[in-house]
Amino acid sequence: MAKKIISVKVNGRLQEKAVEPRTLLVHFLREELCLTGAHIGCETSHCGACTVDIDGKSVKSCTHLAVQCDGSEVMTVEGLANGGVLHAVQEGFYKEHGLQCGFCTPGMLMRAYRFLQENPNPNEAEIRVGMSGNLCRCTGYQNIVKAVQYAAAKLQQTEKEAA
């Protein structure tokens, strides 16, 4: 099968690579770019462990082809922290213990990041619905909800301080 050259900005860095048309984005990220944060879970888009941000939308990278990202901007969990400073969602998951085994955490972080862009001041019910496409087998979700609430408050405080 003939490879196609794609140009995609990943975590702010332009990447030009030749990929087979059937290459899934999760495999491209993990194998071609050595960005192993997106985890391969169900491979059917049900669990969300592979969630990344593409052009401002949460996408399950296990069912998205790499060639579909040609000309796009992709952010993975590796792109959340800025200069060694944790993003508010990362800090929230740390402070509120929103993880246990950690397998779902990268996808949860990426979905929480985008969700808070979509709804910066969510209530608990909205958080539960907004995060419902990402599954966790360990936590019972309560601390994940607390982590997202923490991140929302921190992001709002940061915006107030910047204004």
Its pTM stands at: 0.95
**Number of structural domains in the chain:** 2
pLDDT value for 103: 93
Computed over every residue of the chain, the mean pLDDT equals: 96
Alpha helices in the chain (DSSP H): 25-27, 88-95, 105-118, 124-130, 142-162
Structural domain that includes position 96: 88-158
Percent of all residues in the chain with a pLDDT value above 90, rounded to a whole number: 91
Is 65 among the domain residues? Answer: yes
In the structure encoding, which two tokens stand for residue 149, read together? 């609430």
Is 83 among the domain residues? Answer: no
**Looking at the predicted structure, is the pLDDT value of residue 1 above 80?**
no
**What mean pLDDT is predicted for residues 96-117?**
96
**Looking at the predicted structure, is the pLDDT value of residue 162 above 90?**
no
Alpha helices in 2-141 (DSSP H): 25-27, 88-95, 105-118, 124-130
Answer with the one of 45, 77, 109 that is the final residue of a domain: 77
Q: Reading across the β-sheet that carries 57-60, which strands appear in turn? A: 13-19, 4-10, 73-75, 51-54, 57-60
Is 163 among the domain residues? Answer: no
Same domain, 73 and 97: no
